[in-house]
Amino acid sequence: LAAAKRAGRVRVPTHVVSSICDDRGEEPTYNGVSMSELMQGDATVADAIGLLWFKRRLPGYATKFIEMCVVLCADHGPCVSGAHNTIVTARAGKDLISSLVSGLLTIGPRFGGAIDGAAQYFKEAVDEGWEPDEFVEKMKKRGIRVPGIGHRIKSKDNRDKRVELLQRYARTHFPSTRYLDYAVEVEGYTLQKAANLVLNVDGCIVGMFTKVEIDSIVKIGYLNGLFVLARTIGLIGHCLDQKRLGQPLYRHPWDDVLYTK
Amino acid sequence: LAAAKRAGRVRVPTHVVSSICDDRGEEPTYNGVSMSELMQGDATVADAIGLLWFKRRLPGYATKFIEMCVVLCADHGPCVSGAHNTIVTARAGKDLISSLVSGLLTIGPRFGGAIDGAAQYFKEAVDEGWEPDEFVEKMKKRGIRVPGIGHRIKSKDNRDKRVELLQRYARTHFPSTRYLDYAVEVEGYTLQKAANLVLNVDGCIVGMFTKVEIDSIVKIGYLNGLFVLARTIGLIGHCLDQKRLGQPLYRHPWDDVLYTK
Amino acid sequence: LAAAKRAGRVRVPTHVVSSICDDRGEEPTYNGVSMSELMQGDATVADAIGLLWFKRRLPGYATKFIEMCVVLCADHGPCVSGAHNTIVTARAGKDLISSLVSGLLTIGPRFGGAIDGAAQYFKEAVDEGWEPDEFVEKMKKRGIRVPGIGHRIKSKDNRDKRVELLQRYARTHFPSTRYLDYAVEVEGYTLQKAANLVLNVDGCIVGMFTKVEIDSIVKIGYLNGLFVLARTIGLIGHCLDQKRLGQPLYRHPWDDVLYTK
Amino acid sequence: LAAAKRAGRVRVPTHVVSSICDDRGEEPTYNGVSMSELMQGDATVADAIGLLWFKRRLPGYATKFIEMCVVLCADHGPCVSGAHNTIVTARAGKDLISSLVSGLLTIGPRFGGAIDGAAQYFKEAVDEGWEPDEFVEKMKKRGIRVPGIGHRIKSKDNRDKRVELLQRYARTHFPSTRYLDYAVEVEGYTLQKAANLVLNVDGCIVGMFTKVEIDSIVKIGYLNGLFVLARTIGLIGHCLDQKRLGQPLYRHPWDDVLYTK
Ligand SMILES: CC(C)(COP(=O)(O)OP(=O)(O)OC[C@H]1O[C@@H](n2cnc3c(N)ncnc32)[C@H](O)[C@@H]1OP(=O)(O)O)[C@@H](O)C(=O)NCCC(=O)NCCS
Ligand SMILES: CC(C)(COP(=O)(O)OP(=O)(O)OC[C@H]1O[C@@H](n2cnc3c(N)ncnc32)[C@H](O)[C@@H]1OP(=O)(O)O)[C@@H](O)C(=O)NCCC(=O)NCCS
Ligand SMILES: CC(C)(COP(=O)(O)OP(=O)(O)OC[C@H]1O[C@@H](n2cnc3c(N)ncnc32)[C@H](O)[C@@H]1OP(=O)(O)O)[C@@H](O)C(=O)NCCC(=O)NCCS
Ligand SMILES: CC(C)(COP(=O)(O)OP(=O)(O)OC[C@H]1O[C@@H](n2cnc3c(N)ncnc32)[C@H](O)[C@@H]1OP(=O)(O)O)[C@@H](O)C(=O)NCCC(=O)NCCS
C-alpha cells in the first residue's frame, strides 16, 4: 500500500486492505483461483484452507495431513471445557452460534491451544541446536512446561491413539520428519521423568512441519486455527445433540461448590 | 434416561447427557466409530460431520456435496459483515479466536443464515402441495421474503457461479432433486417479478436434500451449521491475512457517519 | 475522500447513521449532554444509561430504580449458567473479555432473559383488558409459561427478597404501579396452582414501568439490556475471583455424564 | 449424590471453588453483605463492584471515582472499533447480546485495554525509582510505547476533557495522588517530544490509585474490567439505537478496499 501511495497509483488510500479472496468479478476467487477451477479440480476442504490461510496450493501429502488433523481433533467428548460450555449454552435455549462461540472462547493456553506454543519452543530448540535433554532442562529452569508434552490421562503404556496414527502417516508420506524426530526424542527424555509426559496431539502436529513452514507458522500463528476449525465441528455437534435430546437448563449442583472467603 | 431411571439402572441421575462422542475408552469414538477405523477408511472432514452432526455414515454423494458446500461457502470477500468484523477485531490486536468469534456473531437472518429458513418454508410449501406461484404469493401476503431467493448483486443475466456448480453436481449425482426442482420453479416465477430474485446459495443448498432429510433438518437446524463451519475457514483466513499485512487499528471515518437526533 | 464528499454530500450518502453519542467536538456528548455538564450534575451510572439507551434525562425515581435493579441483578452465585461458563473459561486461562463473553452468551429465554418477554405479554394482557385469571388461562391454552412467574427454588413461603425490596421501593416512590398491581394479581392466581409460581425478579422489574414506557420497551427490547449490564458486574467478578484463587482447568467429571445413543 | 457426598465430604472434593457471592441462604449475599443491607444502605453500582470485584466496601471517594470512570468511559461515538462492530452486528439483525459481544471482543491492547498495561509500567517505574524522563527513555529502548500516553486526535492545546475532569476530582478528594503526579510528570516530558503525547484517559485512571491498590490491581487485572463494564453501556446503547433507526445490513463499500496480493 505504502508503495502504491508513493507511486501515486492510489490517490485516496482505502481504509481496508485484503489479500485472500476477491469477490468483485464474475465469481469469487480464493487467492486467485476461481470457484469453477476449484470445483473442476475436486478441491477438498484442505485445499480451501491452503488457499485462504497459507495463500498457496498445498501439496497432496500436506492437504491429506490437514484433513487427518481436522478429523482427529474434531471432538474429544462432552467433558472438556469447550464442549461443556457449548452444552451449557445450548441448554440455556440459545442459538447455534452463541452456543458454538461460548465453547470456542475456552480454547487457549490450557485447552487445545498449545500447538502454537509447541511450534515456537521446538523451533527455538532446533534452531539453537539444543539436545532434547538440554531443551527440557532449560525449559524447567525457565519454569515453563514443555508445550506438546504431557496428558492428564494418557501415559507411556496407554498412548493416545491419535498421536500414533498421525506419526505413522508422517513417517510414510512426508519428505522430512525432522521436528517429529526431535519431538520423539524429547518425549523419550520426559518419559523417564514421569509416565504421563508423553508426546500429545499438539506436539505431534507441530512435529509434522518442515523448518521453512515452522518459521512462518511461528510468526503468524496458523496452527491454533487448525484446532479451532476442527473443534468447531465437534462443538456444533454438541449443540445439535443437546437440542435433539431436549435437555433443560443446566445449573451446577450447589454441593459441588466450595463457598469460601 | 427417564426409562433408565425408572428401571433403577441409574441410581444417581447424571447432570449431563451426551450422545455423539465417547472419550472414555482406549481411543475416542465418533458415534461409535473409533479413530483407527476412521483413519483406515480415509475419512474426510465430511465423514466426521456426518458422524458428529447427523449421527450416521453419510453416502458418498452426500459427503462429496457437503465438501462442495464448505469449499464454496468458505469465503466471500472482505466486505460482508462477518469478514468485516473479524478484520476490525484482528486490527485491534486481538487474538485469533476473539477475531473469529466477532465475525461469526454477525451470521443470522440477514447474512448467511437463511438456509434453515429456506428449508422450513420450502418444506411447508411442498408438504402443503402449493404451486410455486401460489407459494410466492402466500409468502407475500404474510409479508415474509422467500428465504433462498434474491441477491444484492447477482441477477438473471449474471448468475451466481456457485449456485450453478452446486446444481450441476446435484443433477448428475443425486438420487432425487425434488426440492431443487421446486426451488427452480419458484425462481422461474420470482424472476418475472425482478431480475435479482434469483435462487441464491442458501436456497440452492436446501434444494439438495430429500424429503426425509429436510424433515429432520427443519426440526434441529443443521444447515446453518454448515455455513458457519465453512465461513469459519474464511474468517480465520481474514484474521491471519490482517496480521500478516500488519494492519493498524481500524477507525470508521467520521465523514461516513450521519450524526442524527 | 473527505474533501470530495464534502463537496457533494447529497450524492454520497454515509454508510452509517448514529444518534446517541457525538465525539466530534471539544468533548463527547451523550444525547447532546456534554461530559462537563454530566460531571457538574454529579451524574450516576443510571443517568448515563438514560441518555444512551432511552435518549433522555430520566426522573430521579427512575434512575434510582435502575440502580437498584443493577445492584440486585449483579450476581446470583456461581451455579447459574452464566457464572458457570465464565468460571470455566477463566479456569482455561483465558482473558477477562473472553471469560465474560462466554458467560453472557448463556443469557436468554431460560436464564435472565425473561424480562422482555414478561413486558410483552403483560402489556398485551393489560391492553386487552384481560382479568389476571383470564390471562393465565389464555397463556396456558397457548402453551406458553407466563414469563415473570415461577422460580426453581423460591416459593410462597420463601419469597425472593429482591422482589420484596423492589416492590417496596416502587410502592413508596412511583407515580403509578399499574402493571405491578396487575402482576401481583396474576401471582395471586398462579399461587393457587402451585407454591413456586411466585412473581420473580423479571416479572417484578416489568411491573415497575408505566404504560407509555412499556410500549417503547416492548418495541425495542431495553429490559434485557438492564439484566445484561447488571450481570456483567457479577461475571467480571467471577472471572477475577477464579484468577485470584488460581483455579486449574475445569473438566466435567466423567461419572456425571450419561453417554447415550 | 448430595447425600453420599455429605456423608464423606473429605473424600469428594468439590469441582468448583467460589468466593464472591453466596446464593444458598434466605437472600443472596455479595461478599457476605445481604441484599437487604445493600438496599437499606442505598448501595450504588460502585458499591456492588467493590464487593464483587475488590471484595470489600470501598470508601466514598473511591466509589464516587469509579462511578465517574464508568460515566466518562460509557461511550465514545460510533467510529471506534467496539461501537462499529456492535453496529454491524445489530444491522445484521442479530440479538442484543450477540451485538454487544461482537463489539466487546475488540477491546484490547489497541482499543480501551491500555489501563492494565499503564498500571503495570507505572508501578515498575515508581517502584524502581525512575525519573519520568528516565522511564520514557527506558521504554523507548525496549521498543514499547508508554501505555496511558498518546491520543490520535487530542493534543497539548486540545486536551481530553475527560482527563481534566478526573484529575480535578482526584486532586480535591483523594488522600494521595502519587501515581497521578508521576503520570503528569511523564506527560510533561513526552509533550516535549510531540504535541499529541498527552496523558490519556487510561493513564489518568491508573494515576488515581494508591501504591497498595496498584499492587493488587497489577496482579489481577481489575482495571480493564472497569472499561469493559463502562463501555458495555455504550455498546448496548448503539445496538438499541440501530434497531430503533431500522438500519439495514451493512456491507463495506468495495471501493474502500485495496485488493492486494
Ligand atoms: C497436559 C498437562 C496440563 C497435564 O498436566 P498434569 O498431568 O495434570 O500435570 P501435573 O500438573 O500434575 O504435573 C505433574 C508433574 O509433571 C510436570 N510436567 C507436566 N507437564 C509437563 C511438561 N509439559 N513439561 C515438563 N514437565 C511437565 C509438572 O511440572 C509436575 O512436576 P512436579 O511434580 O515436579 O512439579 C501438562 O502436561 C501441560 O501443561 N503440558 C503442556 C501444555 C500442553 O501441551 N497441553 C496439551 C493440551 S492437549
Ligand atoms: C438477499 C436480499 C437481502 C436482497 O435484497 P435487495 O435486492 O436489496 O432487495 P430490496 O430490499 O431492494 O427489494 C427489492 C424488491 O424485491 C422484493 N424481494 C426481495 N427479496 C425477495 C424475496 N426473497 N422474496 C420475495 N420478494 C423479494 C422486495 O420485497 C422488494 O419488492 P418491493 O419493491 O415491491 O417492496 C433479499 O432478496 C432477501 O432478503 N432474500 C431472502 C433472504 C435470503 O435468502 N438471503 C440470502 C443471504 S445469502
Ligand atoms: C422459572 C421456571 C423455569 C421454573 O420452573 P420449574 O419450577 O422448574 O417448573 P416445572 O417445569 O417443574 O413446572 C411445574 C408446573 O408449573 C407450571 N409452570 C411453571 N412455570 C409457569 C409459568 N411461568 N406460568 C404458568 N405455569 C407455569 C408448569 O407448566 C408445570 O405445570 P404442569 O406440571 O401442570 O405441567 C418456570 O417457572 C418458567 O419458565 N417461568 C417463566 C420464565 C421466567 O420468568 N423465568 C425467570 C427467569 S429468572
Ligand atoms: C494512542 C496511540 C495509538 C496514538 O498513536 P498515534 O498518534 O497514531 O501515534 P503514531 O503511531 O503516529 O506515532 C507518532 C510518534 O509518537 C510516538 N509515540 C506514540 N505513542 C507513544 C507513547 N505512548 N509513548 C512513546 N512514544 C509514543 C511514536 O513512537 C511515534 O514516534 P516516531 O515517529 O519517532 O516513530 C499511541 O499513542 C499509543 O499506542 N499509546 C499507548 C497505548 C495507549 O495508551 N492507548 C490509549 C487507548 S485510549
Nearest C-alpha neighbor of A169 from the set A261, A13, A64, A70: A64
Among candidate residues B29, B33, B26, B35, the one with its CA nearest the CA of residue A168 = B35
Grade residue C7 by pLDDT with cuts at 50, 70 and 90: low
Residue D95: name the closest of A195, B119, B41, B108 by CA: B108
Spacing, Cα A198 to ligand 1 middle (Å): 10
Residue B107 — left, alpha, or beta (φ > 0 → left; ψ -120 to 50 → alpha)?
beta
Q: What is the DSSP-derived secondary structure letter of residue C94?
A: -
Please write the tens of the pLDDT for every residue from A122-155.
Answer: 889 988 999 999 999 999 999 999 989 998 788 8
Q: Supply the pLDDT for residue B118.
A: 86
- Each residue's pLDDT tens digit in chain B (261 positions)? 555 555 555 556 899 999 999 998 878 999 999 998 998 888 999 999 999 999 999 889 889 989 999 999 999 999 999 999 999 999 999 999 999 999 999 999 888 877 888 888 988 998 899 999 999 999 999 999 998 999 878 889 888 888 888 898 888 888 888 888 999 999 999 999 999 999 988 888 887 777 767 777 777 778 889 999 999 999 999 999 999 999 999 999 999 999 998
> Of the candidates C228, C189, C238, which has an alpha carbon nearest to the alpha carbon of residue C205?
C228
- The per-residue pLDDT for range C10-58, each reduced to its tens digit, is 445 899 999 999 998 878 999 999 998 998 889 999 999 999 999 999 8
| Rounded mean pLDDT, C118-135 | 91
Rounded Cα gap, residues A56 and A48, in angstroms:
9
Residue D24 C-beta-side C-alpha neighbours within 13 Å: 15
Residue owning the nearest CA to atom 38 of ligand 1: A150
Q: Percent of chain D having pLDDT more than 70? A: 95
For residue D247 the three cell numbers come to 438500519
C67, C44 in Cβ contact below 8 A?
yes
Provide the b/e sequence for B116-126 (b: ≥16 CB within 10 Å).
Answer: bbbbbbbbebb
**Which position has the higher pLDDT, D41 or A213?**
D41
Query: Do D104 and C87 count as a contact with CB atoms less than 8 A apart?
Result: no
A90 contact C CB<8A: no
* Pairing relationship of beta strands C16-18 and B257-259 according to DSSP bridges: parallel
d(CA C101, CA C75): 15
For D146-155, give one letter per residue: b (16+ CB within 10 A) or e: bbbbbbeebb
The confidence score (pLDDT) of residue D120 equals 86
Mean pLDDT of chain C: 89
> To the nearest whole percent, how much of chain C has pLDDT over 70?
95
Tens of pLDDT along A10-48? Answer: 556 899 999 999 998 878 999 999 998 998 888 999 999
Angle among Cα D82, D83, D87 to the nearest 5 degrees reads 120
Q: What is the pLDDT of residue D10?
A: 44
How close A15 comes to chain D (CA, Å)?
6
Query: Could you tell me what percentage of chain A is helix, strand and coil, using 3-state DSSP and rounding each to the nearest 5?
Result: 60, 5, 35
Number of the ligand closest to the Cα of B107:
2
Name which of B91-100, B210-219, C161-170, C175-184 the model is least confident about.
B210-219
- DSSP summary character for residue A112: B
Closest chain B residue to the Cα of A19, Cα to Cα: B241
Answer whether C102 touches A (CB < 8 Å).
Answer: yes
Mean pLDDT of chain D: 89
- Residue in C15, C21, C232 closest to D250 by CB: C15
pLDDT at position B8 is: 52
As given in the structure block, the three cell numbers for residue C1 are 475522500
**In sequence order, what are the beta bridge partners of D155?**
D158
Closest Cα partner for A132 from A180, A184, A186, A181? A186
Q: Check pLDDT > 80 for residue C233.
A: yes
What grid cell was written down for C186?
396474576
Say yes or no for a CB contact (<8 Å) between C110 and A92: yes
A89 touches chain C (CB under 8 A): yes
**Which helix H or strand E contains B30, and what residues bound it?**
strand B29-30
Rounded Cα distance, D83 and D76, in Å: 8
pLDDT for residue B94: 95
Contact state of C78 with A110 under an 8 Å Cβ cutoff: no
pLDDT interval class at C179 (50, 70, 90):
confident
Q: CB of A247 within 8 Å of any CB in chain B?
A: yes
Q: Are B181 and B188 in contact (CB under 8 A)?
A: no
pLDDT of residue C9: 46
DSSP state of A149: B
Alpha carbon distance D38, D33 (integer Å): 7
Provide, as residue numbers in chain A, all residues whose Cβ is less than 8 Å from the Cβ of D14: 255-258
**Alpha-helical segments (H) within A50-200:** 60-73, 81-91, 96-104, 114-128, 132-142, 161-173, 178-191
pLDDT at residue C194 is higher than 60: yes
Res. A67 pLDDT band, cuts 50 70 90: very high
Grid coordinates given for B85: 468484523
Which residues from chain C sit within 8 angstroms of residue D112, using beta carbons?
none
Q: D92 near D102, Cβ under 8 Å?
A: no
pLDDT of residue C153: 80
Q: Pick the most confident of A51-65, C84-98, C160-174, D142-156.
A: C84-98
pLDDT digits (tens, 9 = 90+) for B241-256: 999 999 999 999 999 9
**CB-CB contact of B125 with B135 (8 Å):** yes
Cα–Cα distance, B103 to B176 (Å, whole number): 36
pLDDT for C1 equals 47
Cα C234–Cα D226–Cα D240 angle in degrees, nearest 5: 75
Residue B220 and residue B13: Cα distance in Å, rounded?
25
> What is the A151 CA–ligand 1 centroid distance (Å)?
7
pLDDT at D212: 67
> Is the predicted pLDDT of residue A260 greater than 80, yes or no?
yes
Cβ–ligand 1 distance for A154 under 6 Å, the answer no
Average pLDDT, integer, range A59-88? 94
- Inter-chain residue contact A4 with D259, CB threshold 8 Å: no
Residue of chain B nearest C1, judged by CA positions: B255
| Residue, of C259 and C201, whose pLDDT is higher | C259
CA distance C225 to chain D (A): 7
pLDDT at D2: 53
D228 vs C contacts (CB less than 8 Å): 96-97, 100, 232, 236
Prediction pTM value: 0.90
Condensed to tens digits (0 to 9), the pLDDT of residues C76-87 reads 999 999 999 999
Residue to mutate (ligand 2; options B149, B152, B158; most atoms within 8 A of CB): B149
Q: In this structure, what DSSP letter does residue A152 have?
A: S
pLDDT tens figures, B200-230: 888 888 877 777 677 777 777 788 899 999 9
Q: Which residue has the higher pLDDT, C177 or D245?
A: D245
Q: What is the mean pLDDT of residues C139-162?
A: 89
CB contact (8 A) between residue C98 and residue A108 = yes
Which DSSP category does C54 fall into? Answer: I
Residue B148 CA to ligand 2 centre (angstroms): 10
Q: Is the pLDDT of residue C251 over 90?
A: yes
The burial of B101, by beta-carbon neighbours within 10 Å (0-12 exposed, 13-18 middle, 19 or more buried), is given as buried
Q: What is the number of the ligand 3 atom nearest to the C-alpha of C190?
A: 25
Nearest to C15 by CA among D99, B78, D84: D84
**D 1-30 → A contacts, CB under 8 A:** 1-2, 5-6, 13-19, 22, 24
- The yes/no answer to whether this complex scores an ipTM above 0.95 is no
Q: Is the pLDDT of residue D1 over 50?
A: no
Subunits adjacent to chain A (3 or more Cβ pairs under 8 Å): B, C, D
**Residue whose CB lies within 8 A of the most ligand 3 atoms, among C76, C145, C151, for a mutation test:** C145
Q: Provide DSSP, D70-137.
A: HHHHS---SSSHHHHHHHHHHHTT--HHHHHHHHHTT-BTTBB-HHHHHHHHHHHHHHHT--HHHHHH
What pLDDT does B12 receive? 61
Q: C199: Cβ below 6 Å to ligand 3?
A: no
Grouping H, G, I as helix, E, B as strand and the rest as coil, residue D45 is helix
CB atoms A240 and B233 under 8 Å? no
CA B16 to ligand 3 center in whole angstroms: 21
